[in-house]
Structure 1
Amino acid sequence: MSAPGPFMELLLRRGAEIRSQIEQGLKMPFTEVLELHTGDLQAMRQKPITFLRQVSAACTYSPLLNDPTLPSDVKQRARTILASCPGNSIGCYGEAGGILTVRNSVAKYLEQRDGGIPADPENIFLFNGTSRGLSFILKFLMATGNSERMGILVPVPSSLACQHIITLLGGAALPYQLDEQSGWTVWSEELRRVLEEGCGSCRPRVLYVVNPGSPTGHVMDRACMERIIRFAADEGLLLLADEGHPEDVYSGSLQLLSFKRVLHEMGPEFSSVVEFMSFNSVSKGHIGESGVQGCYMEVLNVDPTVLSHFRSMVATFVSCSLPAQIAMEVAANPPDPGDPSYPLFQAALGQPPDVFYCLRLLQDTGYLLAPGEEFGQKDGTAHFRMTFALPIKELTLALEKIVDFHQRFIAEFS
């Protein structure tokens, strides 16, 4: 998670003040402050996945492999993981790009996700979180490019983490605006405008996309993804995709497609040409292990010589922690129907208007949301970000209270 901006810091400070006042006995119309802006599921009181914790525990403390209270599939998974670790211990250094057992599971998951499109474990790399993986990729690209400053096209609104990383590494962040009126889509004309303006100060090399969007929550349709792929192909840009899990999209008709699948279905003209890297993280969605900091990356269509150099660099500088790899193994390879663990696994002022709105909401309800100003929203618009990580009963109550607040807020200020 990126460091909060000034508006979010204001809200967090005020939230801490209110929390302290409640602890000191001051009467409020609510009993606690809930930070509904964060996607940290366990901070929102969601229970961790039992199967994941049991496998992690058995890998960490091997005597549990003989514990009769642990399900047999938990112990078998732990033994499989440990057999891939040097010395059969997660305390040893692992393979720099990730142990093969986990990379095989990720490859199998990607093939299932994409309807059978092959995934090569040798093109999969494991990192301690998306931010570290992204930092390594950009640092590598800047080190192997020419002396001109590298430009990266980044969406807004979005988390500012990517822009901060680019700035710290000496690159140029080139923000392209998502079009809210058409469902936060990306238009080629906007990408072209940003690209042409950026050419005066840097060498644009990467097109960064986020799907599903954050904080917008939108999911790109196929037409939008095809536009992005064509633009990357036409301009010779590396397409860098931060993507989510299809099972974390809650809509009866909406389908979360991967860029890899769309790229493949557009035919060899694109699927064999566009340089592509895709990230996914165990911090997101139904697994929700934000503190574990594990992510995987798949690489496609990168020049073999460059990819070989990349592997050498990974081997020299990167070693993903084995606890993080265990979480990725479970995320990519959950229990199957019929396994002992399957049933339990399934059960799981002068301020911008939106800052003012979020402050009033915090003071009236104890719910802390993130204002759109935190994410680079378009001028003249106002939004807030709320995640849906609360248990369903508490989420229903929170939504009812927010609706009530909103109606009172509009009545007061309209």
Structure 2
Amino acid sequence: MGETEITFFEDLIRDKDWSSLRHELEDMDPILIAEIIDELPEQDDIILFRLLPREQAKNTFQYLPHEKQEQIIEGLAKNVNRVAGLLNDLDPDDRTAFFEELPGNITQRLIQLLSPEERLIATRLLGYPEHSIGRLMTPEFVAVKPDFTVEQALKHIRMYGRDSETLNLIYVVDDNWKLIDDIRIREIILADPGQHVRDLMDEHFVSLYAFDDQEVAIRVFQDQDRIALPVLDSEGLLLGIVTVDDVMDVVEEETTEDFHKFGSFQAAIVNPLKARIFFLYQKRILWLIVLVFMNVFSGAALATFEGVIQSAVSLVFFLPLLIGSGGNAGAQSATLMIRSLAIGDVETKDWFRLLGREFLVSFLLGVTMAAGVSLIASVRAPQYIVVVAATMILAVMSGSLIGMITPFIFTKLKLDPATASAPLITSIADISGVVIYFSIASWYMGL
């Protein structure tokens, strides 16, 4: 949202031109309204939010950053009815996500503003472990009984489907609410009105369990290509559903978290423009200090081969190129392994098989890159072509194998494999690259 648009809304608020302001907001997308509110100065943002109609306010609230959501709630605190209406109108899964970020005492106070029905839903959702599927699910779905006729089922859907998260799938439950099947709405619409729901059932469905980790939901959605999945308890009772948009939010959070870890951040940083300077410093300094001390080993390795370097100074020209190639190969390999481990394509038991494959792939990569660097060496230092080419092959192979093995080691130690970050792997590859390079040079020169 540009400064001109923000200034325009600030001017309308300053001039108290409420009719023009309402007119501007009337047909605006909730996402754009949320962007405007986020950019407006304090107090102006609350004024604009107060002017939104009930439905528009509900849709806009879920797109606001958490800090802004808290600010809006605080600003509306004098109007208890408005706060209660907003919280009651929010979808249960969006409301749960908001409550999770608040201090416990504030959450409890806000829960008391909910209607008895919504309060029951909120406390049940908040009772599931953090990062569990139970925290993602919504109880807004449509279920029918197997002895319903198609005509009865359609009447039931029309009556209760308005508030459902999705109507693509209709769930079939018994008298105890145990899930029996799910049926696509298309099949019900096209069926004969006199048919019974049980006639449309195949009793084959895919489900999730409320206490499973959210990553389970990600894998199941990827494998099953569904837009919604039912959530059951340990006895098979239907508790709610999880939709693909909720899972995609989790995927984005997991990807962001892994990205920051892979770059050697201690924790995900929300926004580097808004975060405090000391916070940014605190989250980055530890890994950088660790890597500084690791790079001391590179210096020690160079010092060990000081005689070789003095005898052939031209070898230093190729040093950044060779160890950089090893580090890049290691980072590539680590990225592939971390992603594969995260989405379940590979498991720790596969590491030996993958080691053999990575050995062959890295050898081919090393040979190809050695051919390229040999052309450079033929112009710069033709007498050392063998040293440079052999080092390139071994550096790429060692870097690749280090990059592949390290995430498996972290996984085996019950640590997040994303912590096997690029700078760490690059530093290890650098040290091994220096040792390989000057060891080969020393052997070749007979020193």
TM-score range, shorter chain: under 0.3
Q: Whose relative contact order is higher, 1 or 2, with alpha carbons under 8 Å and at least 6 apart?
A: 1
TM-score normalised per structure 1: 0.25
Q: Which has the larger radius of gyration?
A: 2
Answer 1 or 2: which has greater helix percent.
2
Question: Relative to total residues, which structure has the larger strand share, 1 or 2?
Answer: 1
